[in-house]
Structure 1
Amino acid sequence: MLSFTSAMAVLPASDLERARGYYKDKLDLEPEMSEDGALIYNVAGNRILLYETSFAGTAQNTALTLETGDLAATMTELRGRGVVFEEYDLPGLKTENGVAEMGSERGAWFVDSERNIIAVSERTA
Structure 2
Amino acid sequence: MGTLTFQKVFNTFSVDDLDKAFDFYTGKLNLDVSRTPMNTLTLNIPGNQNGMMIYEKDNHEPATYTVLNFGVKDVEAAVDELTARGVVFEQYDNGPLKTDKKGISRGDGPVIAWFKDPAGNFLSVIENN
Q: Into which bin does the TM-score normalised by the smaller protein fall? A: 0.7 to 0.9
- 1:113 corresponds to which of 114, 118, 126: 118
* Greater Cα radius of gyration, structure 1 or 2: 2
1:122 Cα offset (Å): 0.2
Distance 1:84 1:18 in 2: 16
Distance 1:4 1:102 in 2: 38
| Match of residue 17 from structure 2 | 15
Amino acid at match of 1:56: H
Amino acid at match of 1:68: V
Amino acid at match of 1:18: K
Q: CA 1:65–1:11 in 2, change beyond 3 Å: closer, same or farther?
A: same
Q: Which has the higher strand share?
A: 1
Distance 1:10 1:73 in 2: 28
Q: CA 1:3–1:95 in 2, change beyond 3 Å: closer, same or farther?
A: farther
Distance 2:8 2:75 in 1: 27
Is residue 61 of structure 2 the alignment partner of residue 60 of structure 1?
Answer: no
Task: Out of 16-25 and 46-55, give the one that drifted further.
Answer: 46-55
Tell me, which stretches of 5 or more residues in structure 1 are unaligned?
none
Q: CA 1:35–1:93 in 2, change beyond 3 Å: closer, same or farther?
A: same
Q: How many residues align?
A: 124
Give 3-state SS (helix, strand or coil) of 2:55's partner. Answer: strand
**Percent identity of the aligned residues?**
34
Q: CA 1:76–1:14 in 2, change beyond 3 Å: closer, same or farther?
A: same
Distance 1:98 1:17 in 2: 27
| Match of residue 26 from structure 1 | 28
Maintained 8 Å contact 1:60/1:117: yes
Task: Give the TM-score normalised by structure 1.
Answer: 0.84
1:3 Cα offset (Å): 6.4
1:11 Cα offset (Å): 2.0
| Match of residue 69 from structure 1 | 73
Task: Out of 86-95 and 76-85, give the one that drifted further.
Answer: 86-95
